[in-house]
Amino acid sequence: MAATLRHLALTGLGLQHVGASLGDKGRAAVVIDTGAASRGSGSQGENKEKSIRRWFVEQDLVESVILLPDNLFYNTTAPGMIILLNRAKRTPRQLLLINASGEYRKGRPKNELTQEGIQKVIACFRGWKDHEGLCRVVGIPEITAADYNLSPARFVRSNAKEETGDIQAILDDLATLKKDSAVLDANLAGAFARLGYRWGL
């Protein structure tokens, strides 16, 4: 699923299709990878993804962008984003950018978005006002000046403390991963040997 979402974000077809499907008062929420919100911004010349973002911004269809924490989705440890589209925005010419990257509980194998974090995001959206370290209302001229970069991290610096983790726990995790990797390599070597191939790195 993550690969599919990334492909759609890269081509822009997914977001364009959703936007074209909205009625006069239509709303939609689309999960995109973080690069899709910023790729091409600040570079010279045209970029397909930047051009798509520009169109959505200039048509005033983007209501909010929410940056999620790392390691929530299977098949990728990268953070994702939710882009909210609305053809009948309550605050025209404005976007609400929410940086919820620090609102998670550490988990294995995946992190979890906390209920407190979810409530903070909801409160931001309903309140529609700046909240230091979490959200900010940004006008279209500022988005244009940022070369159509829609990444909340550019406009809202998270107050969450950087988690360095327990060193021994990290070393234990690395040892486990190394052991699991050795088992997988052995299984692959056996499978390829049965097919008449040699497996080696």
| Pair 86, 177 in one domain | no
| Pair 106, 186 in one domain | no
Please tell me whether residue 22 adopts helix, strand or coil conformation.
Answer: coil
Q: What is the pLDDT of residues 23-72, one digit of tens each?
A: 999 999 998 888 888 888 877 667 888 899 999 999 999 999 999 999 99
CATH of residue 113: 3.40.50.150
| Pair 82, 32 in one domain | yes
| Pair 68, 37 in one domain | yes
| Pair 109, 189 in one domain | no
| Pair 196, 142 in one domain | no
| Pair 108, 70 in one domain | yes
| Pair 189, 94 in one domain | no
Selected residue with higher pLDDT from 1 and 183: 183
pLDDT at 1 over 90: no
Give the global pTM: 0.73
Q: What is the spatial distance between Cα 119 and Cα 155, in angstroms, rounded to a whole number?
A: 21
**Domain extent for 120:** 2-163
| Pair 57, 107 in one domain | yes
pLDDT for the residue numbered 2: 40
User: Listing from the earlier edge strand, what are the strands of the sheet with 62-67?
Assistant: 27-33, 80-86, 62-67, 94-99, 135-139
- The contacts of residue 124 (CB under 8 Å, 6+ apart) are 96, 98, 131, 134, 135
Q: What is the pLDDT of residues 118-176, one digit of tens each?
A: 999 999 999 999 999 999 999 999 999 999 999 999 999 877 644 445 465 566 567 77
Q: Strand pairing of 62-67 and 135-139?
A: unpaired
Please tell me whether residue 185 adopts helix, strand or coil conformation.
Answer: helix
> Number of structural domains, the chain?
2
